[in-house]
C-alpha cells in the first residue's frame, strides 16, 4: 500500500472519494456510505459484494497490464469462481479488489444492502430489502486454557469485532448448537441475528439460504409465499383450503361452532397451525431446502382468523362490541405458536385495526399505501364483510361493512365457490332475453360450438360471486329486473326463462342437461341478497365520504379475488362501487398477502404500518345512524342503464384473466378467496 491517492466514483449513488492505493473497494465503499452487501464479512466467500468495474481494466487469469485500475484477480476470487461459477465480465469481489488507479465502480442492484425488490404490479412502489433477520459470518477464536471466555462470549466478541454488533443475546436453542457448529465449521460459523439484538440461529461455515414466509390466512384459502431473505426473491408459493372449513363455510358459522363446542377454538387453532406447518414442508421441499432455513414468517388474517391462529377464542368477535383481544402488531416466537420452522424463528403478525378490520386490512394498506399520495384513494376488500379504506396523505378512514357472503356466491340459490363448473360470466340479449355464459374451466361461451364437450362430465354446477353480479346486472340492463330489484313477471310470455316459483319470479340461466344436475336460476331472493350486499358496501363508502367531507374519489382499488374477477362495468351498473372514471378503477390482486410480503422483507415497513394503523380513523358503521339511511337508499339499482349500455357493445374484460382457463383445480389457488 502506498501513500499515493486514487479517486473512486461509485454508481449509481454518485458518491466519490480519494483513498490510498491498495484500499479494498469494499472499504472505500463503506467509508463513503455506499451500501454494499456482505454476509462473509469480506472473506471472498459469499460473493454478495460483487461490483462492476466501469472504467479502466484489471488483469485476470495471469494477464498483467501497466495501466490497470484495480488489483489483479486474486487467488480468493479464483477460488470463488471455482465454487460458484465464473463472475460476469468486468465483475470483481469488492472485498478483494483493491484500488490501483482512478476508477468508476457500479454497484449492481443485487449487491446493494437496501436494494429494491421489483413488484410486478404496475403503478406500485418497489419493496426495499431490509430484513429483520440478517446473516453474519464470523471466524471465532478458539477456546484456550488461558482464556476464561466461554465459546458464546468468543462468538459475541467476534460479532462485535467484525460486524459492530453489540449487546446481542444468544437464544436457548443456539447454545446447544454452538460447539458443534464451531467444530464442523472449523471455528467459522454463520449466525442469524434478529432485529440486531437476538442471535436466533447458527450454522457451521457459510450459510446463505435464509428464508421467510409471508402468509395470508383467509377464511377459505391459506396462501404462503416462500421468500429468500437474502435477495427478496419469491422462491415458491403454495396454498391450501383453510381446513377450518369443516367447522363451517363462513366465519360466523365457525364462531357458532365454537359457541356450541367449548373445545372448538382449540381445535381450530390446531388445524390452522397444522395447515401452515404442512405448507412450510411443501414450500421447503419445493426448493430442496430445510424447514430450519425458515427464520421468519409474517402473517395477515381477518380478526377471527387472526385470533384463532394466536389461540385466542374468537367468540367475542361474533357480537357487539366486537372486542378484539389485541389489535397491536405482535412479534412472537414461532415455537410459542407451535410453528415448525427454525426453533429460533420469529412470527410477525400485522396489527389489527378494529373488531371487523383485521391484519389483512393492515396488509392491504401497506401494499396500497394510500397515505403516500395526494389523490383520494378508495380501497375495497370484499369478503363476508367488506373492509373499506378511504384516504390520502392527509387523512385515512377505515370501516367494515356487513356485505354478507353473497358476493362469494354463498346464500345464493345456485351459488357456489369459484371453482370448476361455476358460471362466472353472463350476457343477456336485450331483445330476446336469451342468456349466454362462461364457466370456470372453459373459454367458450355457452352458445358457442363445442361448449358441451369442453364442459364434459363436470357440467354447469352453479354460479360464483362474479357470475351472480354479472347475471343481476344483465337482468337489470335487459329490463328483467326493475330499479327496485323486482323481477318482472310480465315477461314470462316473452321468454319462458322467466318463471314463477314459490310466489316470486325467477330467471333460468341454464337447464340441467344430465341426470343429477340441477337447473341454474337467479331467484328473486338471490337478487335481494345482492341488493343487501351492494347496499352495505355502498353505504360504507358513502359513510366514509361523509366523514371525509368529499365526494371526490381519484382512484379505486379492488383487493382480493373479488376485485380480480368481477366485471367492473357490471359492478358499476349495480352501484357496487361509486362513480369514478373506469380507467382509475383497478384490481389490487392479493394486496393483503403483498402486505405480508412487504412486512417480511422490509422491517421498517412494520413500524410504518403500526403507525398508520394508529393514525387511521375507524368509523364504526354499527353506531352510525346515517349508515342505515344510506343502506336503505342504496338498495335500488342506479338509474344508469342507459348511460352505460354503450359499454356493452364490447364488454371490457375482467381485470385479471390470468389462469382463468388453466386446467384442473388449481383455479381455487389463483387468488385470495375471502369471506
Footprint of a second copy on this chain (CB under 8 A)?
143-153, 170-173, 175-176, 178-180, 310-313, 316, 320-328, 330, 332-333, 335-337, 352, 354, 618, 620, 622-623
State how far Cα 497 lies from the chain centre.
42
Looking at the Cβ atoms of 85 and 262, the one nearer to a second copy is 262
Burial class (CB in 10 A: 0-12, 13-18, 19+), 319: exposed
Looking at the Cβ atoms of 55 and 142, the one nearer to a second copy is 142
Looking at the Cβ atoms of 178 and 304, the one nearer to a second copy is 178
Distance set, CA 177 to CA 360, 378, 521 (Å):
37, 51, 64
Q: How does DSSP classify residue 112?
A: -
Task: Locate 479 and state its grid cell.
Answer: 329490463
CB of 170 to a second copy, least distance (A): 7
Whether the CA torsion 38, 43, 45, 49 is positive or negative: it is positive
**Ramachandran region, residue 586 (left: φ > 0; alpha: ψ -120 to 50; beta: rest):** beta
Looking at the Cβ atoms of 291 and 330, the one nearer to a second copy is 330
What distance in Å separates the CA atoms of residue 211 and residue 192, rounded to the nearest whole number? 11
Looking at the Cβ atoms of 147 and 604, the one nearer to a second copy is 147
What distance in Å separates the CA atoms of residue 645 and residue 264, rounded to the nearest whole number? 50
State how far Cα 133 lies from the chain centre.
19
Residues 170 and 184: beta-carbon distance below 8 Å: no
What distance in Å separates the CA atoms of residue 568 and residue 6, rounded to the nearest whole number? 61
CB of 153 to a second copy, least distance (A): 7
CB of 282 to a second copy, least distance (A): 25
Looking at the Cβ atoms of 354 and 556, the one nearer to a second copy is 354
CB of 281 to a second copy, least distance (A): 23
CA-wise closest residue to 632 among 536, 523, 525, 547? 536
Looking at the Cβ atoms of 152 and 454, the one nearer to a second copy is 152
What distance in Å separates the CA atoms of residue 395 and residue 373, rounded to the nearest whole number? 11
CB of 143 to a second copy, least distance (A): 3
Looking at the Cβ atoms of 337 and 634, the one nearer to a second copy is 337
Residues 428 and 480: beta-carbon distance below 8 Å: yes
CB of 502 to a second copy, least distance (A): 38
- Cell numbers 374451466 correspond to what residue? 441
State how far Cα 599 lies from the chain centre.
10
CB of 323 to a second copy, least distance (A): 3
Looking at the Cβ atoms of 29 and 398, the one nearer to a second copy is 398
CB of 20 to a second copy, least distance (A): 40
What does the radius of gyration of the chain's CA atoms come to, in whole angstroms? 30
Residues 231 and 238: beta-carbon distance below 8 Å: no
Residues 52 and 44: beta-carbon distance below 8 Å: no
CA-wise closest residue to 243 among 293, 278, 214? 278
Looking at the Cβ atoms of 143 and 241, the one nearer to a second copy is 143
CB of 550 to a second copy, least distance (A): 23
Looking at the Cβ atoms of 281 and 320, the one nearer to a second copy is 320
Q: How does DSSP classify residue 41?
A: S
Residues 78 and 16: beta-carbon distance below 8 Å: no
CB of 341 to a second copy, least distance (A): 15
CB of 457 to a second copy, least distance (A): 47
Residues in the chain: 675
Looking at the Cβ atoms of 21 and 618, the one nearer to a second copy is 618
What distance in Å separates the CA atoms of residue 600 and residue 148, rounded to the nearest whole number? 39
Looking at the Cβ atoms of 168 and 587, the one nearer to a second copy is 168
CB of 199 to a second copy, least distance (A): 12
Distance set, CA 256 to CA 100, 249, 305 (Å):
74, 11, 14
State how far Cα 117 lies from the chain centre.
14
CB of 354 to a second copy, least distance (A): 6
Residues 96 and 45: beta-carbon distance below 8 Å: no
Amino acid at each position: 500500500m502506498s501513500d499515493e491517492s486514487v479517486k473512486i466514483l461509485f454508481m449509481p449513488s454518485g458518491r466519490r472519494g480519494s483513498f490510498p492505493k491498495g484500499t479494498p473497494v469494499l472499504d472505500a465503499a463503506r467509508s463513503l456510505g455506499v451500501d454494499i452487501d456482505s454476509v462473509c464479512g469480506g472473506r471472498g466467500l459469499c460473493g454478495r459484494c460483487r461490483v462492476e468495474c466501469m472504467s479502466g481494466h484489471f488483469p485476470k487469469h495471469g494477464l498483467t497490464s501497466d495501466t490497470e485500475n484495480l488489483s489483479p484477480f486474486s487467488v480468493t476470487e479464483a477460488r470463488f469462481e471455482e465454487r460458484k461459477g465464473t463472475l460476469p465480465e468486468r465483475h470483481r469481489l469488492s472485498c478483494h479488489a483493491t484500488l490501483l488507479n482512478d476508477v468508476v465502480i457500479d454497484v449492481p442492484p443485487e449487491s446493494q444492502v437496501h436494494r429494491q425488490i421489483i413488484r410486478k404490479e404496475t403503478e406500485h412502489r418497489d419493496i426495499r430489502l431490509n430484513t429483520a433477520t440478517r446473516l453474519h459470518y464470523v471466524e471465532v477464536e478458539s477456546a484456550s486454557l488461558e482464556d476464561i471466555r466461554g465459546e458464546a462470549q468468543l462468538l459475541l466478541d467476534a460479532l462485535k469485532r467484525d460486524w459492530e454488533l453489540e449487546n446481542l443475546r444468544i437464544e436457548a436453542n443456539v447454545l446447544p448448537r454452538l460447539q458443534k457448529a464451531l467444530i464442523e465449521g472449523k471455528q467459522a460459523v454463520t449466525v442469524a441475528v434478529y432485529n440486531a439484538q437476538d442471535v436466533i440461529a447458527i450454522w457451521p461455515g457459510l450459510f446463505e439460504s435464509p428464508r421467510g414466509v409471508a402468509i395470508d390466512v383467509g377464511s377459505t384459502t391459506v396462501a404462503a409465499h416462500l421468500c429468500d431473505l437474502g435477495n427478496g426473491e419469491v422462491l415458491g408459493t403454495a396454498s391450501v383450503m383453510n381446513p377450518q372449513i369443516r367447522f363451517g363455510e363462513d366465519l360466523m358459522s365457525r364462531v357458532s361452532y365454537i359457541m356450541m363446542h367449548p373445545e372448538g377454538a382449540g381445535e381450530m387453532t390446531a388445524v390452522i397451525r397444522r395447515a401452515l406447518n404442512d405448507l412450510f414442508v411443501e414450500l421447503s421441499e419445493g426448493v430442496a431446502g430445510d424447514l430450519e432455513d425458515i427464520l421468519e414468517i409474517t402473517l395477515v388474517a381477518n380478526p377471527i382468523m387472526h385470533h384463532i391462529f394466536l389461540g385466542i377464542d374468537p367468540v367475542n368477535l361474533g357480537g357487539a362490541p366486537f372486542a378484539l383481544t389485541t389489535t397491536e402488531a405482535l412479534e412472537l416466537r414461532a415455537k410459542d405458536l407451535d410453528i415448525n420452522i427454525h426453533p429460533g424463528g420469529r412470527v410477525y403478525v400485522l396489527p389489527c385495526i378494529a373488531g371487523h378490520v383485521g391484519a389483512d386490512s393492515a396488509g392491504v394498506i401497506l401494499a396500497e399505501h394510500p397515505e403516500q399520495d395526494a389523490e383520494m384513494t378508495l380501497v375495497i376488500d370484499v369478503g363476508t364483510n367488506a373492509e373499506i379504506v378511504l384516504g390520502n396523505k392527509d387523512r385515512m378512514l377505515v370501516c367494515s361493512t356487513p356485505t354478507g357472503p353473497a358476493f362469494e356466491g354463498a346464500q345464493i340459490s345456485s351459488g357456489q365457490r369459484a371453482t370448476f363448473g361455476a358460471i362466472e360470466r353472463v350476457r343477456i340479449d336485450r331483445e330476446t332475453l336469451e342468456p349466454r355464459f362462461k364457466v370456470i374451466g372453459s373459454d367458450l361461451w355457452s352458445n358457442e360450438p363445442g361448449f358441451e364437450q369442453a364442459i364434459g362430465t363436470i357440467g354447469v354446477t352453479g354460479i360464483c360471486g362474479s357470475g351472480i353480479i354479472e347475471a343481476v346486472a344483465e337482468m337489470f340492463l335487459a329490463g328483467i329486473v326493475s330499479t327496485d330489484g323486482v323481477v318482472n313477471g310480465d315477461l314470462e310470455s316473452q321468454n319462458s326463462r322467466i318463471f314463477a316459483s314459490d310466489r316470486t319470479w325467477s330467471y333460468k340461466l341454464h337447464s340441467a342437461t344430465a341426470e343429477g344436475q340441477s337447473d341454474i336460476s337467479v331467484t328473486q331472493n338471490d337478487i335481494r341478497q345482492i341488493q343487501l350486499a351492494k347496499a352495505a358496501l355502498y353505504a360504507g363508502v358513502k359513510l366514509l365520504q361523509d366523514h371525509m367531507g368529499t365526494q371526490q374519489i381519484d382512484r379505486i382499488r379492488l383487493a382480493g379475488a373479488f376485485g380480480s374477477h368481477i366485471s367492473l362495468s357490471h359492478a358499476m351498473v349495480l352501484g357496487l362501487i361509486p362513480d369514478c372514471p373506469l380507467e382509475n378503477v383497478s384490481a389490487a390482486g392479493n394486496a393483503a398477502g403483498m402486505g405480508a410480503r412487504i412486512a417480511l422483507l422490509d422491517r421498517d415497513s412494520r413500524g410504518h404500518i403500526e403507525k398508520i394503523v394508529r393514525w387511521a380513523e375507524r368509523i364504526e358503521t354499527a353506531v352510525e345512524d346515517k349508515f342505515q339511511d344510506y343502506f336503505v337508499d342504496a338498495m335500488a339499482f342506479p338509474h344508469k342503464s342507459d348511460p352505460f349500455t354503450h359499454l356493452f357493445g364490447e364488454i371490457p374484460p375482467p381485470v385479471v384473466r390470468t389462469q382463468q382457463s388453466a386446467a384442473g383445480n388449481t383455479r381455487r389457488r389463483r387468488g385470495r378467496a375471502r369471506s
